[in-house]
Amino acid sequence: MKGRTPSGRRPRGSLSPESIVEAAIAFVEENSLQQLSMLALSREMGLPASSIHWHFRTRQELVDRVALEVTVQLMDAMPRGDDDLPWDEQLTTWFTELRHQFLERPNLFDLPVDRSLLLSNPTVGRRIKQRVDHIIAVLTEAGLTTENAYEIYHLCGVFTRGFVRVELSDAYHPDSPSSDGALASIATDDDVELLTGVRESSDRQFELGLRVLVAGIRATMIDGSKRTKVASRKR
């Protein structure tokens, strides 16, 4: 493994919390979060488990640090805002990329982490705030209140996470019963063929869902708000 001496041992002082977290992330990506343990990671790194326990007292403490680092990496990978683009394109670009990032690292998608832990960490909290605040600003400039902008961000995030969760479930358990399977049991042959095509076109389905969300936001919260303001002025 990288960083070891010819004898197979790590150079003295080379083990740091950062290197352990990096190795833990690689382990989870290669295997799974469920398989991550201090013993399994120490074997992977060629170390006694006590070396890892010196830096992280419990597995949960290590998982929390992994979640913090993965969140930073996710925020750094997200697109920078382009003020020349309209609000709907920026919103669509952001959540399309978020889905892409989740699918790129499926074993890191659903890390169990307390949101307050992320936000209370100065580095991570600042990174999240910088990136999310831009989307909120784009939405408020389009005519939403700050409260509504956060609600829309949350709604699009729930849609994206839920869609990815279904995609990953289908990928890991392609033969398991699903809502599609239930529908297929009462559908015609033509319907089954159509349902199969839908399952095989996830990109198109995600884009459609996001477009429908954005259209609804525009019609009910942005254009609708503008019409209300115009009507109030005429009274």
Mean pLDDT of 182-201: 49
pLDDT of residue 190: 54
46 and 84 together in one domain: no
Instruction: Let me know whether 9 and 98 are in one domain.
Output: no
Distance, in Å, from the CA atom of 91 to the CA atom of 196, rounded to the nearest integer, reads 29
pLDDT-derived band at 10, boundaries 50, 70, 90? low
Is 70 part of any domain?
Answer: no
3-state secondary structure of 209: helix
Reply yes or no on whether the pLDDT at 133 is more than 90. Answer: yes
Which whole number is the average pLDDT over 103-110? 92
Choosing from 57, 89, 104, the residue where a domain stops is: 57
Q: Residue 232 pLDDT more than 60?
A: no
185 phi, psi to nearest 5 deg: -70, -20
Choice among 5-14, 130-139, 209-218 with the minimum mean pLDDT: 5-14
Q: Does residue 24 have a pLDDT over 50?
A: yes
Task: For the chain, give the mean pLDDT.
Answer: 83
Together in a domain, 114 and 155: yes
In a domain, 87, yes or no: yes
Quote the pLDDT of residue 113: 75
CATH number for 90 = 1.10.357.10
Same domain? For 99 and 182 the reply is yes
Query: pLDDT grade, residue 9 (50/70/90)?
Result: low
CA 210 to CA 44: how far, in whole Å? 41
Residue 131 lies in a domain: yes
> Which letter does DSSP use for residue 174 in this model?
T
Per-residue pLDDT at 203 exceeds 70: yes
In a domain, 174, yes or no: yes
Burial 202-218 (b: 16+ CB within 10 A, else e): beeebeebbeebbeebe
Q: Could you give the percent of the chain with pLDDT greater than 90?
A: 65
* Section 165-182 average pLDDT: 66
Q: Please indicate, yes or no, whether residues 173 and 119 belong to a single structural domain of this protein.
A: yes
131, pLDDT greater than 80: yes
Domain that holds residue 7: 1-57
Beta-carbon contacts of residue 176 (< 8 Å; ≥ 6 apart): 169
Asked if residue 1 has pLDDT above 70, the reply is: no
Between 234 and 133, whose confidence is greater? 133
What is the tally of structural domains in the chain? 2
Residue (of 215, 212, 214, 203) closest to 99 by Cα position: 203
Mean pLDDT of 124-142: 93
User: Over the stretch 49-102, which tens digit does the pLDDT of each residue have?
Assistant: 999 999 999 999 999 999 999 999 999 999 987 888 999 999 999 999 999 999
